[in-house]
Chains A and B, each alone.
Chain A
């Protein structure tokens, strides 16, 4: 089937919400938002909520990590994909499973006690930092950027 047309991969603790569903989807011109998350793949309330914020021009799919890895290469060329995951660990699983991700947009990773805050919306614990280092070693560009029209920065410069 060839390479899926993934326009952007985003890590966001809130998955599809206002910034992702409205701003990124519209700005990129994505017509398919794929949420790769094991819990949400089983949760129809969450799925319905995420659908509400998407424009009519975009469809959604809610797959487990395993199913995403299995199915993504079957994507049609006309499917312009915004791929969203909740954590850096899930992103690493996708990459290690062969999903062709070259670049990751790091959006919201919320603050908690003991985490290292690297931007107003991104805070990382030891496990996150280790995971991002692995992603970096695999050649993946990591950009911290909340919304399209703000300037981002390379995550590796802050860890």
Chain B
């Protein structure tokens, strides 16, 4: 099972995790690291490293971060250059992580591609579509 670490500025990580708990319940091998005011980049790096070690089950770890080039992302990328089997994602949203929760048995690269796709298609506006009655050979 792929391990998951979520990190972002302020309470992005714990906040998004509270939404996950409400929708999908408590999750195994998921850790959150909040980058709080006054915390140093080094301190964040240490916490990210601990979290990644804790969730690693032998199948790799994905670090979900908030903005590209922000400190949580940057420190995660540095960490990924030092440890094996770590992928870092920026621009995390709830559709991305939620879809990922149901694909944690995938290979690390396939998982990463899938959650990025889910995050991208999840960012959308409502469009009213005409629904069509489907003609089915069998079934309903």
Contact = CB atoms under 8 A, between A and B. Distances in A.
A147 B24 contact: yes
Contacts of A23: 23-25
A34 B140 CA distance: 9
Given A72-B140, A74-B140, A75-B140, A52 B128 contact: no
A48 B128 contact: yes
Contacts of B130: 44
A79 B139 CA distance: 7
A47 B23 contact: no
A18 B140 contact: no
Given A26-B102, A44-B131, A45-B128, A79 B24 contact: no
Given A49-B126, A55-B99, A149 B26 contact: yes
B128 A76 contact: no
Interface residues of B, number: 18
Nearest to A63: B140
B77 interface: no
B138 interface: yes
A71 interface: yes
Contacts of A131: none
Nearest to A61: B140
B102 A147 contact: no
A52 B126 CA distance: 9
Interface string A98-116: 0000000000000000000
A76 B139 contact: yes
A78 interface: yes
Interface of B: 22-26, 98-99, 102, 124, 126-131, 138-140
A-B interface, 10 closest residue pairs, ranked by CB to CB distance from nearest? A76-B139, A149-B25, A26-B102, A18-B23, A147-B25, A23-B24, A76-B138, A75-B140, A79-B139, A71-B140
Interface of A: 4, 18-19, 22-23, 26-27, 32, 34, 44-45, 47-49, 52, 55, 61, 71-72, 74-76, 78-79, 147-150
Given A52-B124, A71-B140, 18 more contacts: A18-B22, A18-B98, A19-B22, A19-B23, A19-B24, A22-B23, A22-B98, A26-B102, A44-B128, A45-B128, A52-B126, A55-B99, A74-B140, A75-B139, A75-B140, A79-B139, A149-B24, A149-B26
19 contacts: A18-B22, A19-B24, A22-B99, A23-B25, A34-B140, A44-B128, A48-B129, A48-B131, A49-B126, A52-B126, A61-B140, A71-B140, A72-B140, A76-B139, A79-B139, A147-B25, A148-B25, A149-B25, A150-B26
